Chains A and B, each alone.
Chain A
Amino acid sequence: TQLLEQSPQFLSIQEGENLTVYCNSSSVFSSLQWYRQEPGEGPVLLVTVVTGGEVKKLKRLTFQFGDARKDSSLHITAAQPGDTGLYLCAGHTSGSRLTFGEGTQLTVNP
Chain B
Amino acid sequence: GAVVSQHPSWVICKSGTSVKIECRSLDFQATTMFWYRQFPKQSLMLMATSNEGSKATYEQGVEKDKFLINHASLTLSTLTVTSAHPEDSSFYICSARTTGTPNQPQHFGDGTRLSIL
Q: Known: A88-B43, A100-B43, A103-B43. Contact between A31 and B103, CB under 8 A? A: yes
Interface presence of B32 (CB below 8 A): yes
Q: CA of A42 to CA of B34 in the docked complex: distance in angstroms?
A: 13
Q: CA of A35 to CA of B41 in the docked complex: distance in angstroms?
A: 14
Interface presence of B106 (CB below 8 A): yes
Chain A contacts with B in 19-38, Cβ cutoff 8 A? 30-31, 33, 35
A residues less than 8 Å from B102 (CB atoms): 92, 95-96
Q: Number of contacts between A and B (CB, 8 Å)?
A: 57
* Contact status A102-B42, CB under 8 Å: yes
Chain A contacts with B in 32-50, Cβ cutoff 8 A? 33, 35, 40-45, 48, 50
* Contact status B105-A100, CB under 8 Å: no
A residues less than 8 Å from B108 (CB atoms): 35, 42-45
* Contact status A45-B42, CB under 8 Å: no
Q: CA of A40 to CA of B111 in the docked complex: distance in angstroms?
A: 7
B44: which of A40, A50, A100 is its contact (CB, 8 Å)? A100
Q: Known: A41-B110, A42-B6, A43-B108. Contact between A92 and B103, CB under 8 A? A: yes
- Which chain A residue lies CB-closest to B102? A96
* Contact status A43-B44, CB under 8 Å: yes
Chain A nearest CB, measured from B29 CB (Å)? 16
- Which chain A residue lies CB-closest to B36? A100
Residue among A31, A88, A102 with the highest chain B CB neighbour number at 10 A: A31
Q: CA of A35 to CA of B44 in the docked complex: distance in angstroms?
A: 11
Q: CA of A102 to CA of B49 in the docked complex: distance in angstroms?
A: 20
A42: which of B42, B43, B49, B93 is its contact (CB, 8 Å)? B93
Q: CA of A6 to CA of B44 in the docked complex: distance in angstroms?
A: 13
B residues less than 8 Å from A42 (CB atoms): 4, 6, 93, 95, 108-111
Interface presence of B85 (CB below 8 A): no
Enumerate 15 A-B pairs (CB-CB under 8 Å) in ascending A order. A33-B105, A35-B108, A40-B91, A41-B111, A42-B108, A43-B108, A45-B108, A50-B103, A88-B44, A92-B102, A96-B32, A97-B49, A98-B34, A98-B46, A101-B43
